[in-house]
Structure 1
Amino acid sequence: MPKVVDHRERRRELANATSALIAEEGVDAVTIRSIADRLEYSTGIVQHYFSSKRQLLLYTLRVEGALSQRRVEAAVVNDPGDLLGLLSALMPLDEARSKAWKVWLAYWATAALDADVALEQRRMFDTLRLRIRHVLRVHDAHPQLKPGIDPELVARRLLSICHGIGMEAVCHPDDWPQSMQHAAIVQEITDLTGLPTQNI
């Protein structure tokens, strides 16, 4: 009998191989042939799921975005107000997240020239910003919350800070060990919100 193929799993396998190659060599290294060779498939198998490199890249970006979202959701599942946990989930604090950051950085360059990639990134970042804002709202009644803060502006600033530190940590890991990344995020939360990080 012919082997039954789980098409969803096959597409995810192709996306995972694409992410790994981007993290190692950048977007330019991705071709239908390079992904086929990496998985020891024929190019026909890859093209059955993705007719072009662009389709493969867009799908891979969506998979990476979904993985990031799951990490964020897992960080607040037990404590909806865990702002430090949420932001830490976005940082390159382990091998998996460092790999994800290398992929995101590669896509940032692509987004400057591809409107569809830019739109996917915008959707992903909007979702993350809304989640940060939601967690901030959990602390509306906290006595140490700075009065009159704008949750939308603070959420934007915190996400931008994570992006900046994450980029530095990936490009210059010796300058940004885990302890320094953590300390910087703690300080930014305190400065922007007044909230004690041991309680958030």
Structure 2
Amino acid sequence: MPKIVDHDQRRREILQATWRVIANQGIDAATIREIAREAGFSNGVLSHYFTNKEEILISAHRLAFQQVYDRASKANEGIVGIEAVRRALYEALPLDAERRIEAILDVSFWSQALVNDRLNAVRRDSIMGGREWWKAMLLDGRARNEIVASLSDDVLCDEIQALIDGISVQAVMYPDDMIPSRQKAMADAFLSRITA
């Protein structure tokens, strides 16, 4: 009887192996061979799921963004207004080992996206999707009279993205300096500035 393979699980295992390779060795080391070795599969197995390294990087990037969204959605069950924004911000910051790996992946992805139009467009799409998510939470906060900033929600979304990106770079580069409590303090300072 042939072995039944859970293809979604296998793809996820490959993508998580990709994260580990990038986190431990850098994005240049994330070759098909090295990812396959880390995942415990042959190169041929990877070719059944992805056409090339670029496809793996794109899928790894999208999975990381989806995980942030899923965590924040779970953290925000029954939560509204500015507290929802706070919890979502915390989920987007590299506050623990898992989120730090996501930040390393994202920061590493940038280096490739600088010279690859397709990767650049993929990250832009991820950011634009995130903007709609942030805007919905900001709109709810305004409707509850919790957010009083005179800045437009577009500018606030820019600030949120800059905050996440800036903290992520600092936490990836200097983890002993940009510790979780400092990350939260910076997020809280931003939220204090825009709330009643």
Say whether the fold is shared (TM-score over 0.5): yes
Q: For residue 118 of structure 1, report the CA deviation from its aligned partner.
A: 1.1
In 2, Cα distance between equivalents of 1:178 and 1:57? 27
In 1, Cα distance between equivalents of 2:69 and 2:116? 23
Which of 91, 97, 101 is the matching residue for 2:93? 91
**Residue aligned with 2:51, SS:** coil
Q: Is the 1:133–1:155 contact (alpha carbons within 8 Å) kept by the matching residues of 2? A: yes
1:72 aligned residue: 72
Residues 1:22 and 1:140: Cα distance change in structure 2 (over 3 Å): same
In 2, Cα distance between equivalents of 1:39 and 1:186? 38
1:190 aligned residue: 192
Tell whether 2:6 aligns with 1:42: no
Q: For residue 146 of structure 1, report the CA deviation from its aligned partner.
A: 2.4
Q: For residue 186 of structure 1, report the CA deviation from its aligned partner.
A: 0.8
TM-score computed with the length of structure 1 as normaliser: 0.90
1:179 aligned residue: 181
Q: For residue 123 of structure 1, report the CA deviation from its aligned partner.
A: 1.4
TM-score computed with the length of structure 2 as normaliser: 0.91
Q: Is the 1:18–1:35 contact (alpha carbons within 8 Å) kept by the matching residues of 2? A: yes
In 2, Cα distance between equivalents of 1:38 and 1:165? 29
**Matching residue's letter, 2:189:** Q
Q: For residue 88 of structure 1, report the CA deviation from its aligned partner.
A: 0.8
Q: Is the 2:142–2:148 contact (alpha carbons within 8 Å) kept by the matching residues of 1? A: no
Matched length:
194
**Residue aligned with 1:140, SS:** helix
Cα RMSD, aligned residues only: 1.6
Q: For residue 143 of structure 1, report the CA deviation from its aligned partner.
A: 4.5
Runs (5+) with no aligned partner, structure 2: none
Query: How far does the alpha carbon of each residue in 1:44-66 deviate from its partner, in whole angstroms, 9 at most, with x for none?
Result: 11112223212222222221221
In 2, Cα distance between equivalents of 1:97 and 1:30? 19
1:20 aligned residue: 20
In 2, Cα distance between equivalents of 1:182 and 1:119? 30
Runs (5+) with no aligned partner, structure 1: 196-200
